[in-house]
Structure 1
């Protein structure tokens, strides 16, 4: 009996320590100025037609394009005019909208007018979902600030700069590739330039709910989190409600406007891909109200298993680029993104790897609704400058912005710190520090990266990478049967990946031009891709700790590196869908295997 009570006491202490650490972790998160879930606030959408000027020699700063000046008389010298400049859709990239800019890399200036009637006691914020790669933003001729990184949101408060009546925004964007950038100057997707995601004007009260987090504790018995106010009246009582579960808690903020909480939950259905239950969350302050839809689940690893809500799962996944195959370029609407995720569901996926950069914020919200688990990644891709401190800080900032943005999304279970990076000492330090940073920001999700292995003289694929020790999941990319071998050769190979952690094959694939039929030995034929998948799945199934796969890739996508004039023509053809939405033969092989995995893990 004494042993029993000792065991119970030990479990209780561990649970208390776990909850304490989670609260401490949440309280220590980076305090960004971006409004959490800004689409849920009072916003004015500024998308639509924007004027643009292409500036390949960077003359706009000297000519003061940001002033948006109009010619006052015929004798005045003015070497630009936004009012008569052509227009382009925002959100959207210039490469796909203007044929002459298809391969353009450099500076483009954007401008649009808008009318506002700011009210006393209100605050105003200009928010950009993303702009690639660098952006400088001006309002009414005044510099608001700049942002680097092509895939994460940024925001500026304009309360003291916005005019009552006519206003104008000018944005200088630059998608030039540099070695010190993240990603670097060499990558295998299209370098889309421009303002690629929504632009909104948000209105808040003087003191407002800036940030919040709600998470399920690992024992699945409590809800924990924080609320952060910003403004003059930061000491208030906060009410947090989970409406459909009839739950609420009231708690005061401290002098900095922060309140942390933990309270027991009951009558709450846990979020799963099969039952993506979301709850309406309302946060009430004396001066503001915020609303969101959030699901509750836990994710962890135990030995070789990935546990969702304490139950072992197999990640039936696929990789995905943020690109619309039908309308060239970046997706321009939520419907575009929902179409792509629906195609993943047709493959019987419960998981999607978002490659190789943060995707549109709509994706994680849609995945919450549709029941898809997500791997989210920053573009530490191939060989960035791992010995460059500025490059590291850039990667760290992009990771921080992604975690901050999507921390309340139940669908997001993996933060990936990079893809196919070389196994060197400087890279190990760079990536290890990134992994540590992720865990300081978020202890409620898993950390991974897509690693590289090698094939030895015995046709054995081995993974020897010290970075694996820093990861929760051992993930790697391999293309046995495509690069250096043929699909028919795959049975000659084997894996030697003895891991005491879950293994996810984060990439494998072969190219096929949709509609090109031949024998299974012919490159780029659907038959060869089909054989590749049949043999690969037999090979992959031999890995004892295999707990997930994400073949490369859901849909054919554009890449300037793919130059075969017959079969590629600027497209990476490894998709299971063609660029016209047609399923290739390999799709049905992969789906049948996923159907079998679903039945296996349902038992």
Structure 2
């Protein structure tokens, strides 16, 4: 169960750390190989091990390169921008940051891609997956005075990884999100989940809490603004649950137009944890996405998690800038592609009233037949869902992007993953980004996975890679079929490159593709939303022609924040509901 840490007061370990690139991946066994004596592996993590005059060594955790944490290492060390492999990180902190009594956990927001962690020479644990948080209990490893923390970050690309070796985004290595100590009592609230359903003039709020330790006494949930205070019932082991039913006239439901949040507080013994939660219900009705009984057409855009000069280590300013752009466009929705973005995105979306599509990087050619890969797949889904299941803004869990729908193994595994997500959280919609197929009678969604999805995304690039932008008029509408979101469409353009609407890579060409695509789908009742590819240009190593030079140029903003013509065209469509003609 994911450790819910964001609402707690934590002891941050961000700041200046030491970093040592290890291109040959040798230092882990360095002393065993060259010391000439039986020295255990943890010796290498003792900061004074290389300071004796009898023998010099080449590696010392207190004498690396000074870097900020969180950060992508290529932004901190530009000479290592394209480095893929091992980097050792180290820092020291005082014992006073840990709990005087009770328990202490070491939590990482994300390390790309594999992490191995030592504290005071003792191996704490490992984690695989570059975008989700993980934690280890370190209560018994803390020492009086100085404590030495070492992290091996490995951003190699792996055939059996998720994502695997091939992606169309940059592989930002490093400790990309914050590191913190979480101090809790011996028995504490590890996580809780709030689920909302609407029925017969009532708002039913289900609360489930997980207690870590030895539950003794009551577990209470409070919603002060609604005068709710009730005890949760034991539901087996560490799980406690109850439902509160309120008249709908007493509750201001969360909605993109009015994103109301309530303080929800869970208590057990000496531990109290609270969060800001919105109450809302998301369902489908025929081909419509429905929030609180009201049809919502998803006016959105896709975006990656990176910023010029920051890599994937976004600060609050960069997160805020994204929402400024979304609001300027008139969006009520955003697709966070192709992996979990920082938790702060979902929390700010709660405040701003932006609906979110969140996904895991089951992208392109995943080895779905490997049981280890499937377990990693479930782990990444679980870590994302348990992190964000209280975010009212999150309405779509995406389980995959552009996977091969002719692969029989994939067609067995992905429906299982859809059900796995529903078992974790039944109150949101499950989706995936699929391909559109061409048939004699037009364009269709022929992916067998679509029968297992609540909402189907389709990625299509008519007018750019193939066909004409107007070809989407041929998409065969099923007015009561699965809601369709055009999860990707668009064209490349370099900011400031102008010409005619027929000249590729110009702003004018990109704007024409947007105009014709929007016109082609505007009257299709099965299409429930749009998230063009993409909000801003992002780094992509295999995009190397004269207009790209290592960037995917399909952004409607460039990497420096300069808007292209397509930005204004999309803004006018979203704000007026009418297709701009020029």
Give TM-score, length-normalised by structure 1.
0.90
CA contact (8 A) 2:154 2:173 kept: yes
CA apart distance, 1:433 = 1.1
Cα deviation code 1:528-558 (max 9, x no counterpart)? 0111111111112242311101000011111
CA distance in 2, matches of 1:492, 1:241: 50
CA distance in 2, matches of 1:558, 1:259: 45
- 1:94 is matched with 73
Cα deviation code 1:183-205 (max 9, x no counterpart)? 01111000010111010011111
CA distance in 2, matches of 1:40, 1:493: 47
Instruction: Please give the secondary structure, in 1, of the residue aligned with 2:54.
Output: coil
CA distance in 2, matches of 1:303, 1:502: 7
Is residue 513 of structure 1 aligned with residue 484 of structure 2? no
- 2:338 is matched with 356
Is residue 47 of structure 1 aligned with residue 29 of structure 2? no
CA apart distance, 1:500 = 1.2
- 1:136 is matched with 116
Instruction: Please give the secondary structure, in 1, of the residue aligned with 2:256.
Output: coil
Q: 5+ unaligned residues in a row in structure 1: which ranges?
A: 1-31
CA apart distance, 1:335 = 2.2
CA distance in 2, matches of 1:259, 1:598: 50
Cα deviation code 1:194-226 (max 9, x no counterpart)? 111010011111111111111212425221121
**Correspondence for 1:263 among 234, 244, 259:** 244
CA contact (8 A) 2:473 2:521 kept: no
1:94/1:492 CA distance change after superposition, 3 Å:
closer
CA distance in 1, matches of 2:349, 2:506: 33
CA apart distance, 1:119 = 4.7
1:472/1:251 CA distance change after superposition, 3 Å:
closer
- 2:209 is matched with 227
CA contact (8 A) 1:302 1:501 kept: no
Instruction: Please give the secondary structure, in 2, of the residue aligned with 1:403.
Output: helix
CA apart distance, 1:585 = 0.7
1:331/1:61 CA distance change after superposition, 3 Å:
closer
CA distance in 1, matches of 2:574, 2:126: 45
- 2:382 is matched with 400
CA apart distance, 1:457 = 6.3
Count of aligned pairs: 560
- 1:586 is matched with 566
Instruction: Please give the secondary structure, in 1, of the residue aligned with 2:10.
Output: strand
CA contact (8 A) 1:463 1:497 kept: no
Is residue 573 of structure 1 aligned with residue 540 of structure 2? no
CA apart distance, 1:73 = 2.2
CA distance in 2, matches of 1:263, 1:133: 41
Cα deviation code 1:453-490 (max 9, x no counterpart)? 233467x3222111100000121000000003465xx3
CA apart distance, 1:120 = 4.6
CA distance in 2, matches of 1:89, 1:111: 11
**Correspondence for 2:506 among 509, 525, 538:** 525
CA contact (8 A) 2:71 2:310 kept: no
CA apart distance, 1:74 = 1.0
Cα deviation code 1:400-429 (max 9, x no counterpart)? 110111111100001000101111211111
CA apart distance, 1:497 = 4.4
Aligned runs of 1:77-476 on 2, under 5 Å?
A: 77-117=56-96, 118-219=98-199, 220-232=202-214, 234-253=215-234, 256-266=237-247, 267-325=250-308, 327-423=309-405, 424-456=407-439, 460-476=442-458
- 1:16 is matched with none
CA distance in 2, matches of 1:560, 1:335: 26
Cα deviation code 1:65-105 (max 9, x no counterpart)? 43444434211342212222111111111122222111111
CA apart distance, 1:502 = 1.2
CA apart distance, 1:596 = 3.1
Instruction: Please give the secondary structure, in 2, of the residue aligned with 1:359.
Output: coil
CA distance in 2, matches of 1:405, 1:320: 20
CA apart distance, 1:255 = 7.1
CA apart distance, 1:165 = 1.3
1:69/1:308 CA distance change after superposition, 3 Å:
same
CA distance in 1, matches of 2:472, 2:371: 44
CA contact (8 A) 2:72 2:310 kept: no
What is the root-mean-square deviation of aligned Cα atoms in Å?
1.8
1:315/1:99 CA distance change after superposition, 3 Å:
same
CA distance in 2, matches of 1:493, 1:548: 15
Cα deviation code 1:490-534 (max 9, x no counterpart)? 369621243612111110010111111111111110000111111
Cα deviation code 1:283-327 (max 9, x no counterpart)? 2222211111100000011111111001111011100100113x2
After superposing the two structures, state which structure 1 stretch, 327-336 or 439-448, moved more: 327-336
1:483/1:493 CA distance change after superposition, 3 Å:
farther
1:493/1:413 CA distance change after superposition, 3 Å:
closer
Q: 5+ unaligned residues in a row in structure 2: which ranges?
A: 31-40
1:598/1:361 CA distance change after superposition, 3 Å:
farther
CA contact (8 A) 1:509 1:551 kept: yes
1:331/1:184 CA distance change after superposition, 3 Å:
same
Cα deviation code 1:30-62 (max 9, x no counterpart)? xx1x321x0221311101111011111111210
CA distance in 1, matches of 2:542, 2:322: 23
Instruction: Please give the secondary structure, in 1, of the residue aligned with 2:295.
Output: strand
CA contact (8 A) 2:399 2:432 kept: yes
1:478/1:497 CA distance change after superposition, 3 Å:
farther
